[in-house]
C-alpha cells in the first residue's frame, strides 16, 4: 500500500505527469499570441526604416522612441513563462537579438578619457524660472564652448552677465547663442527656412586649431490626433542646415543644438548622414535629454565631422529648463 502511495504522490513527479508538463510547454496552441507580438516587435525594430512617413510621419514617430521597444522583451518573456509556452519564449529571442544589434553598443561605457576641449549644448527654455540656477550649472560644467537655444530676449542679459567671467567671448543671433573661452569670429546666420533666426555658424579659435561651430534649434514637432506627427517645418530646416554644413570650408566642424529629433529619425538624415554623434561614439547609455523630469529621447545633439574624436559624452543634471544640457569632450 505504501508503494502505491509513493507512486502517485504528485502528478508532476510521475512519468505521466512529467510528460503532460512537457507537452504543455511544447503545445504550439499555447502562447501563440505572445509569439506573434514578439515577431511583430522584431519586425518593427528591424524594418523601422521602411515604416511610411506619408501617414502622419509615422516612421519618424516610431524612430524617435525606437529604443523603448526593448521594454517589450521582458514583458513578453514573463507572459511566455506564465503561459508555459516554449513557442512564445523562443519567439521573444527575435526582438531581443534585433534590439541588441541596434542598441547594444549604446549601453556600454565608451569613454576614452579627457579631450582637448569640452563642448556643451542646452535648450535653456524661454519659460525657464531659474536662470540663476542654469547659469550656475553652465559655469560649473567645465565646458570651454557652450551653445544655448531658446533664449528669451528678456533673459539674454542675465546669461551674458552671469557667464561673462568664465566665458569672455559670446555671440547671440536671434534665440540662439554661443559662449566660449576661446575667441569667436566670422559669424554668419544660417537660414533654416522658418522666417526668423534660430541657427548660425561661427569660427572658434581653439588652441589646437580653428573650429567651425554651428548652433541650431530646429522647429518643434507636434503629435496631433488629426494629423499625426507633424514635422514638415523641422524636416525642411534639417535639409537647409545639412546643406550649410556640407558647404563649410573649414575641415573641423561641430554642430550643437536642439534638433527636435533623434539620430534614428530618418528626417534628420541631411545632417546625421554626414556627422558623427558624440553620444553614440563615446557616451555611456542613451543620453536621453528630454523631457528633463523623465528623459525619454535624445533630441539635443552634439555632432562632429572632419576627424574630431569624441572621447566622452554625458548628460548634466536637471535645472529650470524642460531639457537637460548635454556635453562632450573632444580631441582635435
CATH number, domain containing residue 268? 3.60.10.10
Average pLDDT over residues 107-120: 92
For residues 262 and 272, what is the distance between their CA atoms, to the nearest angstrom? 9
Shared domain for 102 and 179, answered yes or no, is no
For residues 59 and 112, what is the distance between their CA atoms, to the nearest angstrom? 34
Closest CA to 292 of 260, 262, 323: 323
Shared domain for 135 and 56, answered yes or no, is no
Q: How many CB atoms lie within 10 A of CB 26?
A: 12
One-character DSSP codes across 161-207: HHHTTT--EEEEETTEEEEESS-EEEEEE---SSSS--EEEEEEEET
Shared domain for 251 and 223, answered yes or no, is yes
Shared domain for 72 and 164, answered yes or no, is no
- The verdict on residue 15 lying in a domain is no
* pLDDT tens figures, 226-245: 545 567 889 999 999 999 99
* pLDDT tens figures, 147-200: 999 999 999 999 999 999 999 999 999 999 999 999 999 999 999 999 999 999
Q: Does a cis peptide bond (omega within 30 degrees of 0) precede residue 291?
A: yes
Shared domain for 43 and 161, answered yes or no, is no
**pLDDT at residue number 234:** 92
Number of folded domains that form the chain: 2
Whether 308 contacts 254, CB under 8 Å: yes
- The verdict on residue 214 lying in a domain is yes
Domain boundary among 75, 106, 137: 106
Whether 317 contacts 137, CB under 8 Å: yes
- DSSP secondary structure code for residue 291 in this structure: S
- The verdict on residue 149 lying in a domain is yes
* pLDDT tens figures, 5-30: 444 444 445 666 666 666 777 777 78
Question: Residue 275's pLDDT band (boundaries 50, 70, 90)?
Answer: very high
Q: Which residue has the cell 567645465?
A: 142
**pLDDT at residue number 6:** 47
- The verdict on residue 9 lying in a domain is no
Instruction: Find the domain containing 88 and state its range.
Output: 31-106
Average pLDDT over residues 272-294: 96
Shared domain for 55 and 176, answered yes or no, is no
One-character DSSP codes across 19-84: HHHHHHHH-TTTTHHHHHHHHHHHHHHHTGGGS-STTTTHHHHHHHTGGGGGGHHHHHHHHHHHTT
Whether 127 contacts 330, CB under 8 Å: no
Shared domain for 161 and 183, answered yes or no, is yes
Shared domain for 84 and 132, answered yes or no, is no
Lowest mean pLDDT across 59-73, 129-143, 200-214 = 59-73
**pLDDT at residue number 9:** 47
Shared domain for 89 and 146, answered yes or no, is no
- The verdict on residue 264 lying in a domain is yes
Strands across the sheet containing 184-189: 184-189, 199-206, 209-217, 253-258, 300-305, 276-277
Shared domain for 82 and 137, answered yes or no, is no
**pLDDT at residue number 229:** 55
Domain boundary among 50, 75, 106: 106
- The verdict on residue 262 lying in a domain is yes
Asked if residue 58 has pLDDT above 80, the reply is: no
- The verdict on residue 124 lying in a domain is yes
Domain boundary among 81, 106, 131: 106
CA-based torsion, 261, 240, 257, 276: positive or negative: positive
**pLDDT at residue number 1:** 47
What residues form DSSP beta bridges with 204? 184, 211
For residues 146 and 277, what is the distance between their CA atoms, to the nearest angstrom? 17
Asked if residue 49 has pLDDT above 90, the reply is: no
Q: Is 120 helix (H, G, I), strand (E, B) or coil?
A: strand
Closest CA to 208 of 252, 147, 255, 146: 252
pTM of the model: 0.86
CA-based torsion, 226, 227, 230, 233: positive or negative: negative
For residues 242 and 272, what is the distance between their CA atoms, to the nearest angstrom? 8
For residues 131 and 136, what is the distance between their CA atoms, to the nearest angstrom? 9
Q: Is 252 helix (H, G, I), strand (E, B) or coil?
A: coil
Shared domain for 79 and 165, answered yes or no, is no
Q: Kindly state the percentage of the chain with pLDDT values over 70.
A: 90
Shared domain for 75 and 179, answered yes or no, is no
**pLDDT at residue number 139:** 98
Containing H/E element for 215?
A: strand 209-217
- The verdict on residue 7 lying in a domain is no
Amino acid at each position: 500500500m505504501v508503494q502505491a502511495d509513493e507512486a502517485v504522490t504528485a502528478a508532476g513527479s510521475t512519468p505521466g505527469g512529467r510528460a503532460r508538463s512537457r507537452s504543455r510547454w511544447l503545445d504550439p496552441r499555447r502562447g501563440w499570441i505572445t509569439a506573434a507580438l514578439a515577431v511583430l516587435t522584431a519586425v518593427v525594430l528591424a524594418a523601422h526604416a521602411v515604416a511610411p512617413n506619408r501617414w502622419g510621419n509615422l516612421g519618424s514617430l516610431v524612430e524617435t522612441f525606437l529604443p523603448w521597444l526593448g521594454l517589450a522583451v521582458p514583458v513578453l518573456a514573463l507572459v511566455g513563462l506564465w503561459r508555459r509556452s516554449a513557442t512564445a519564449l523562443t519567439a521573444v529571442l527575435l526582438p531581443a537579438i534585433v534590439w541588441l544589434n541596434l542598441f547594444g553598443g549604446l549601453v556600454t561605457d565608451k569613454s576614452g578619457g579627457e579631450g582637448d576641449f569640452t563642448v556643451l549644448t542646452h535648450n535653456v527654455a524661454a519659460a525657464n524660472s531659474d536662470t540663476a540656477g542654469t547659469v550656475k550649472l553652465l559655469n560649473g560644467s567645465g565646458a570651454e564652448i557652450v551653445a544655448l537655444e531658446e533664449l528669451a530676449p528678456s533673459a539674454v542679459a542675465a546669461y551674458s552677465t552671469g557667464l561673462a567671467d568664465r566665458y569672455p567671448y559670446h555671440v547671440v543671433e536671434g534665440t540662439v547663442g554661443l559662449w566660449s573661452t576661446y575667441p569667436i569670429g566670422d559669424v554668419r546666420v544660417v537660414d533654416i527656412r522658418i522666417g526668423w533666426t534660430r541657427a548660425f555658424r561661427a569660427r572658434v579659435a581653439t588652441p589646437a586649431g580653428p573650429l567651425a561651430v554651428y548652433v541650431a534649434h530646429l522647429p518643434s514637432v507636434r503629435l496631433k490626433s488629426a494629423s499625426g506627427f507633424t514635422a514638415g517645418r523641422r524636416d525642411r530646416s534639417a535639409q537647409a542646415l545639412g546643406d550649410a554644413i556640407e558647404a563649410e570650408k573649414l575641415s573641423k566642424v561641430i554642430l550643437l543644438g536642439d534638433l527636435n529629433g533623434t539620430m534614428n529619425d530618418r528626417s534628420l538624415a541631411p545632417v546625421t548622414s554626414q556627422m558623427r554623434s558624440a553620444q553614440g561614439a563615446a557616451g555611456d547609455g542613451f543620453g536621453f535629454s528630454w523631457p528633463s523630469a523623465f528623459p525619454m529621447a535624445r533630441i539635443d545633439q552634439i555632432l562632429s565631422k572632419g576627424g574630431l574624436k569624441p572621447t566622452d559624452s554625458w548628460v548634466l543634471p536637471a535645472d529650470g529648463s524642460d531639457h537637460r544640457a548635454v556635453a562632450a569632450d573632444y580631441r582635435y
